[in-house]
Structure 1
Amino acid sequence: MRIGLLGTGPWARTAYAPALAGHTGLEFAGVWGRRPDAVTALAEQYDVAAYADVDALLADVDAVAVALPPSVQAELAVRAARAGRHLLLDKPLALSVAEGRAVAEAVERAGVASVVFFTARFQKEPEAWIEEQAAVAGWFTARAQWLGAVFTSDSPFAASPWRREKGALWDVGPHALSVLLPVLGDVRHVVAAAHGPADTVHLVLDHATGASSTLTLSLSAPPAAAGADVELRGEAGLTVLPGSSQGAVPALARAADALVRAARTGRPHSCDAAFGLRVTEILAAAEARLVGSTD
C-alpha cells in the first residue's frame, strides 16, 4: 500500500513520518503540507516525493495519513475518501459534529478503510487490558484522569491554535473516551460538566451498561502532576489501566497494520471514522454543557 503523509508539524515529524517510513507493509510515497519549506525538508529527510498540490499526492497513493489540525483534517479526509483513498487519521476526528459526520459519510460512501489513531487502543498492554475488561460484566463506575502539561512546559504543541481554543476536552478527552466506551458502553447522557483550573474540565457520564464515569481532563497540569490513569470498579473488584512499554511510533505502526487489514478484508476497525464521529458527538455534548454551566 502506497501511503502519503499530510502534514509537516511536530506530530508529523516525530511520530507519523518515522512510523510510515519504518513500516514493512507500506511504501511511504510522499509528503504534502501547508508550508512548502517544511514539506521539502521532511521529504528530503525520508527520501520521498514532496508535493505542492494535495490532489497530485492523492492521485499517486492508495492511502493517506493525516497529521494536521482537526478541522483541516476533516476537510482533507473527505477529499481523500472521495478520491478512493484509505485513511489513517488522528484524534479528534473533527471539532464539530457536522465535520465529523461529513468524514464518516464520505468513508462509508466511498467504501474505503479508516482508522483513527487513539493512542491507547494501539499500545499492546492498554489494548489487551481494554479487551479483557470489555468482556467482564458488572462494572459499576470508572474514574479517568488525563492530565497533560502542554501549556505548563516547553511542549512543542503549546502554541497550537486549536488546542489553545478547545483545550483538554478536545485534545485528551478523546483518549479517555476511547478507553471507556469499549468497556462501559456508549454514553447515553453527559450528566454534568464543570470547569476547573485553566483549561481543566470535569465530566460525569452515564453509560449504556448502567455504569457511570467521571473524567478529569487538563493540558495545564503542573509537570510533576501530569499523567493518565483509568480505574474501574465493579462486581469483579478494582482494576487499573496499565502503562505502556511503547511510545507513539510503535503504536502508530500498529494503527497502520489495522488500516492495511481493514483495506484488505473490508471489515471496519473498531476505531474507524464512525467511532471517531461518536467521540466527536460526545465531546460536543460535553462542550454544550460547559457553555451552559457558565451562562
Structure 2
Amino acid sequence: MTGTSHTWPHAPVRVGLVGAGPWARAVHARVLAAGPETQLTSVWARRPEAARETAAPYGADVAATFEELLDGCEAVAFAVPPAVQAELASVAAKAGKALLMEKPIALDLPSAQRLVDAVDTAGVVSQLVLTNRYHPATRQFLKAAQGLDVVGARSCCLSSAFLGGDFATPWRLEHGALLDLGPHLLDLLDAALGPIVRVRGAGDLRRWIELTCEHANGAISQASLSGSVDVERGITRIELFGRHPELVFDSTALDHEESWPVLRREFATAVRTGQSGGLDARRGLYLQTLMAQALES
C-alpha cells in the first residue's frame, strides 16, 4: 500500500533518486513516485541502464551526472552503499537539498560526523529510512513502553540476507550485521527503554554478534544480530521485562507496506515546513556512535 487517502495541501516535493539497485527499485522509486506528497523527478546511478530501468515505470528522467540530478530536484533520496551515501549526501546538503537517507548513514564514525556537519552547516532537512519506525504497530509498542518501568530487555534482528540473493552486497558481506541490522535494533531499544549510554559487543560480525546496552535509567538490554542464519522471513523481536507483564514487539508478521505512506508524508512535511523530525541525520550519527562503541569493546 503506497497510496494515502489524505489530501496533500502543497505541491509535491520533487525528489531525485541516487541508486538503481534492488532496494531502489522495490521501495524508493515506487514509493516516491506514488505521491501525492512526492514526485520522482529523476534517477542517477553508476550504471545508466539500471537507472533507465528504475526511472521508466514512473516517467522519471535519467540524469547523466549527479550534478544534473541535483539541478532538477529539491530533495535527494539515497539507495546506495553507506560510503557512497556519506560522500554524495554531503555534496547534496551543501547544494541545499533535503536528504532521505538509508542506514547506516556512513561506514564509520568520522564519515558520519562529516556528513552531519555538512547537514548542520547547510541547515537542510534530513530523514532516515528506518522502516519499522513508520509502522503503526511499532508506534503503538513504543507508546506502550513509555509508561513502563523496564528492568531489562531481550531482542534480536535476524535475517538470511548474507546467505545469497539481492542483498548479499559487498559492503554487507564485509562489514556484517552490526552496520546493516544494528541501526534498526539499537534505534528501537533506545526509543523503548530510554537513551543508551554504553554498548559492548561480542562475536563475529559476519556470523553472529551480541550487544549489551546500558541505558541511562539503569535498564540493561541484550541484542542479537545476524544476517547469516536460515530464516524464512527477517525477524525483529523485542521483549521488555519489569514489574509489569512482558511487553513484546515482533515485526515478523507485519506488512511493511504500511510504513511507506507514513514515511513519505513525514518526509514531505519536513521538507515543506523546513523542520526535520526526530529520525534525522543526527539520529543517524547517534546510532553510528553506539555501533562504534560496540566495535571498540
Report the TM-score, using the length of structure 2 for normalisation. 0.91
Cα distance change, pair 189–245 in 1 and its aligned pair in 2 (3 A): closer
How far the C-alpha of 1:61 sits from its partner, in A, is 0.6
Deviations 1:148-183 (A, max 9, x none): 11123x43111x111011111111111101111112
Decide whether aligned partners of structure 1 residues 253 and 6 sit closer, same or farther in structure 2, where only a CA change above 3 A counts: farther
The answer to whether structure 1 residue 168 and structure 2 residue 177 are counterparts is yes
Q: How big is the shift at 1:188? A: 1.2
Structure 2 counterpart SS, 1:210: coil
Which residue of 147, 166, 184 maps to 2:158?
147
How far 1:283 moved relative to its partner?
Answer: 0.6
Does the 8 A contact of 2:175 with 2:206 survive in 1?
no
2:104 to 92, 95, 98: 92
Paired position in structure 1 for 2:6: none
Aligned ranges 1:1-295 → 2 under 5 Å? 1-133=13-145, 135-152=146-163, 154-158=164-168, 160-190=169-199, 192-195=200-203, 198-224=206-232, 227-243=235-251, 245-247=254-256, 249-289=257-297
Corresponding residue for 1:292? none
- Supply the distance in 2 between the matched residues of 1:280 and 1:216 (Cα, whole angstroms): 17
What percent of counterpart residues are identical? Answer: 35
- C-alpha change, 1:45 and 1:124, in structure 2 (3 Å) is same
2:5 aligns with: none
Contact 1:124 1:246 in 2 (8 A): no
Q: Which amino acid aligns with 2:270?
A: A
The amino acid of 1:254's aligned partner reads V
Q: Structure 2 vs 1, CA of residues 245 and 198 (structure 1 numbering), >3 Å: closer, same or farther?
A: closer
Deviations 1:174-202 (A, max 9, x none): 11011111122222112x32115952101
- Structure 1: which 5+ runs fail to align? 290-295
Structure 2 segments unaligned to the other structure (5+ residues): 1-12
Q: Is the 8 A contact 2:178 2:205 kept in 1?
A: no
SS in 1 for 2:176: helix
**CA RMSD for the aligned pairs?**
1.7
Query: Quick one: distance in 2 between partners of 1:222 and 1:42?
Result: 30
TM-score, normalised via structure 1 length: 0.91
Q: Secondary structure at the match of 1:77?
A: helix
Per-residue Cα deviation, 1:70-109 (whole angstroms, up to 9, x for no partner): 1101111111111111111111111111111122121122
